Every structure is written in C-alpha cells, then in structure tokens.
Chains A and B, each alone.
Chain A
Amino acid sequence: MTILHDRPLAITLFLLFGVLILSSLIGWLLSRQVRSPDNRDTIANLNARVNAWWVMTAVFLLSVMVGPLGSVILFALMSFLALREYLALSPTLRADHRALLWLVFVVLPLNYVLVATRWYGLFAIFIPVYGFIWLQIRIALSGETEEFLDRTARIQWGMMVAIYFLSYVPALLMLEIPAYSAEGRNFALLMFLVLVAQASDVLQYVVGKLAGRHPIAPRVSPNKTVEGFFGGIVLASLLGAALYRLTPFPPLAAGLMALVICLMGFAGGLIMSATKRDRGVKDFGTLLPGHGGMLDRIDSLCFSAPVFFHLTRYFYT
C-alpha cells in the first residue's frame, strides 16, 4: 500500500477521480438535453466511454496497488487480449497453428517472466532476437510455403506490438533510477506514462469534437483533426509537466517526456488505424463499450512505452 503514502500520487489519484466524477456528471446532463438522434448517439457513446473509464481505472489501480507482480500480470493479460483481437484480423493458414501456440503460450509468458524477474538484458532481446528467429523456424518447419513471408510478417508484427511493446509499461518497474527507485517509486513513473498517454488520447478526442475542422490524415483516420492533434498534445504535455512530482524529472524534462509520449501515442493511433483500414474494420473488437477492443484503447501506449522506457533509461539511470 505504498501507493497511498506517496503524496504526489495520492493527489494525482484524487484529481483523477474528480475528473471521472465530473465527466459522468457532464455526460448525465448532456444526455438529458440532447434532442437530435445524431447527437444522441454521440452522447450515448461518450457515456459508454466514461463508464468504461471507471472500470479500466479501477482494474488498473487495483492491479498496480497489489505490487509489481500485479502490474506484470495485468499487462500480460492485456497482451493476451490484444493478441486475441489482432489474430482475428490477421489471416494465417492452418499450418501456422503450432507457431501461434508457441507465440501465445510460450513467448508471451516468458517475456513477462523476464519482466517480473527484472532480467533486463534478456528481456530487451528475447522477442526481437529469439522470438523473431524461432517463430520463423517453426513456420518454415510446418512445410507450408504459400504466402510464407506474409504470414511470418503478420505474426511477428503482432508479437512486437501486442507483447514486446506493451510489456515496456511494467518494465518501467525494473529501472534503477538513483534516489527515485530506492524509495520504491517506480510505479509512479508507470502511472505517469499511462496517465499522459491516455489523457492525450482523450484530450485529442475532446478538442477534436469541440473545435475540429481540418482532418489531419483523412485517408487513414477521418476523425483525427489538426485542431485535436495540436490542442490535445499541448494540453497533455502541460499535464505531464504538472505531474513532474510523480517522476524523477524536473518540470521541463517531464513536459518534454510527456510531449514524446503524446507524439508516439498519436503515431501509434495512426499506425493502428491504418492497420484496421487495411483489414476493413472500424474497431479491433467490442471488449470495451464505447472504445472498441483492447487494441483500440492501448494503441498509443504500445508505441509510447518503449520510447519512454529507453529515454528514461538512457538519461536517468
């Protein structure tokens, strides 16, 4: 329960719940006012999103409070759910079944065991080197050569994004940051990353809905606007700077780190939108009402976590 003894974190959580309560109130008031069917759908979707946020916040906080193992298990489960959605949209052949079993039941758990045991040296190369090589061997051994490179590439990509990239979030717990880690505050850094990445998504959405005029990438993601991009990213970066007490960074560096998280998060959203467009779907799934699937929610996190981890590791450890 160190979480509650960490003053900056306690204040952050207090404010977070304030924002959630406020969102629920605004959603409730809006739902009483709307008339046109179009707006009603938007508000219903907004309220579904807010409700899902309550659930996600609760699950996330409870897991992190359990301790490092709680975070590792939570993210392992998220990888599992993300992979389940990704595979549904990625055509593989009958011959790939065994390779997929390796991916889900061996590579995924081992990767998170390395995170839990804080074995950085092997964690960093386990999937990019050994996972990458072994899956290709296994697929080649199946004897099926039709679309060999396509199938292999699809499976490898899912492994990188849904397992390796995402596991960089709990991997933050193994960083040894002088003074900071000695006080056992790494989970506040994890909280910083998740809060900024998700706030950036939400603020881009909100600013885009309120003031969005010019699509930023009309062919990939028609709902993303220039106004939403700049507004959301500036606001979320300022939020990051304001949350500097959660981190080992001084305020300016916290703001810059937040900016990187936001930019990578935006890129992640764009990459995933392009992937969905390629597969002809709007969402990866229906797991989280209002948001879509697990991958729709964590796309920004997947791409910001590894960069944030390595920047922090390079400059602060």
Chain B
Amino acid sequence: MLEVLIIGLVRLVTGAVGRSFGFSFEPPQQRIYYANHTSHLDTLVIWSLIPRDQRRRVRPAAAQDYWWASRWRRYLAEQVLHCVPVVRHRASPTENPLEAVEAAFAQGDSLIIFPEGTRGTGEEMQPFRSGLYHLAAKFPEAELVPVYLHNLNRTLPKGEFLPVPIVCTVAFGAGLRLIEGEKRDDFIARAQRALEGLAAL
C-alpha cells in the first residue's frame, strides 16, 4: 500500500521515464545498478522503474550514518525500501564497510549503489570510490548496470525538503562485468566512463 503511494508520488513529481541503451530487464537476474547521485529521490526513482516482480528483490545501499539516524528515515529505509546499510565512517581499519551489502547480494538480492558515495550538485560527477570494484571482484556473475539520472538535482537538490515537479529521464546502459586480470583503477575508470557516456545521450 505504502509502496504504491510512494511510487505514485514519485511518478507525479518526476514523471520518470526509463530509456534503455543496450539494457533489458529480461531475463531477470542478479544485478548491481550503479548511478550518479544528486538527490534523495534518486533511489526512489530507480526503484520505481524496476519491474514490480523484480523490485521486491532489489535492495538500495544507503549510508548508515544518515538513513539510520532518525526513526522516520530508518522506517523508510528498512521497511519500505529494504535498504542495506553502508558504513561510511569505519570504526576500525579492518571493518568492511560493505559487509551488509555483500551479504545481501550473497543471499540473491540485486543492489542499487551510488559509487560517488555522496550527493553532488549535478554539474560534475565525483570520482568513484572503490566499492564497485570490490563487489565486481567478489561476485563475477553480477551484471553491473550504469544508470544515469537526469534532472533530479533540479527536482530535489541537496538541502531542500520539497521537490519541484520536473520531468526526469533515466538512462539504463548496457551491463558490464569485471574482465579477468583487470586492475582496480582501470575497472573503476571504465565503469565511470560508461555512466558518463549515458549523460550525453
């Protein structure tokens, strides 16, 4: 019920249309959707565009220090979106920030992640963190899908509470995988180029 309401609201405000550039939701398989991050609506928009039967098994990665900080956010993150926490500020150097995320994938869930790590202004993408590489290396069978979100930085920019209705387009690009022997920095650069390539389309 809440899910239908939220998706209805997201569609009303963003009119989000998905466009595919070499990507298809069929056949269903475990995927890691990675996207540029400019707005709180990003997760909701991607989530709303994933077909209903697959949506149940898609878990957005969300910053633990933010989304688990208040009761309301925590409810939204846990109960509605089924988010998995990412630890941004590690207590010790040995702690794996992606532990919960990896566990979710190992259970058979798909993921939505924002490799920039935080919301930007929408003008230029920030350099990716290495989490995407660790996931690709640990789960070579996963399909990594670049998802570029247009206009969401204008709909609900960082620091604002109410969204302005602006039509947003969401470009899904062809999936990629780690090539055997590919170095960390090469892979991260390739993944970021794939996403930036969608920005111009």
Contacts and interface: CB of A to CB of B under 8 A. Distances in A.
Nearest to B151: A88
B17 interface: yes
A83 B15 contact: no
Given A94-B121, A97-B160, A84 B165 contact: yes
Interface stretch (A50-58, A98-106, A180-188, A298-306): A98-106
Interface string B163-177: 011111000000000
Contact of B157 (A85, A94, A105, A287): A94
A88 B164 contact: no
A105 B17 CA distance: 23
A61 interface: no
A126 interface: no
Contacts of B13: 84
B160 A87 contact: no
Interface string B146-159: 00000101100100
A285 interface: yes
B15 A285 contact: yes
Contact of A80 (B157, B160, B165): B165
B157 A84 contact: no
Interface size, B (range): 10 to 19
B179 interface: no
B40 to A, nearest CB: 14
A286 B168 CA distance: 11
A198 interface: no
Chain B binding surface, main DSSP class: loop
A87 B164 contact: yes
A121 B50 CA distance: 48
Contact of B154 (A80, A92, A105, A293): A92
Chain A binding surface, main DSSP class: helix
Interface in B124-168: 151, 153-154, 157, 160, 162, 164-168
Contacts of B121: 94
A85 B169 CA distance: 11
Contact of A84 (B15, B160, B162): B15
Contacts of A94: 121, 153-154, 157
Contacts of B166: 84, 87-88
Q: Which of B15, B17, B153, B168 has the most CB of A within 10 A?
A: B15
A84 B157 CA distance: 16
B164 A85 contact: no
A55 B178 CA distance: 47
Interface of B: 13, 15, 17, 121, 151, 153-154, 157, 160, 162, 164-168
Interface of A: 80-81, 83-85, 87-88, 92, 94, 97, 100-101, 104-105, 285-287, 293
29 contacts: A81-B15, A84-B15, A84-B165, A84-B166, A84-B167, A85-B15, A87-B154, A87-B164, A87-B165, A87-B166, A87-B167, A88-B151, A88-B166, A88-B168, A94-B121, A94-B153, A94-B154, A97-B154, A97-B160, A97-B164, A100-B164, A101-B162, A101-B164, A104-B164, A104-B165, A285-B167, A286-B17, A287-B15, A293-B167
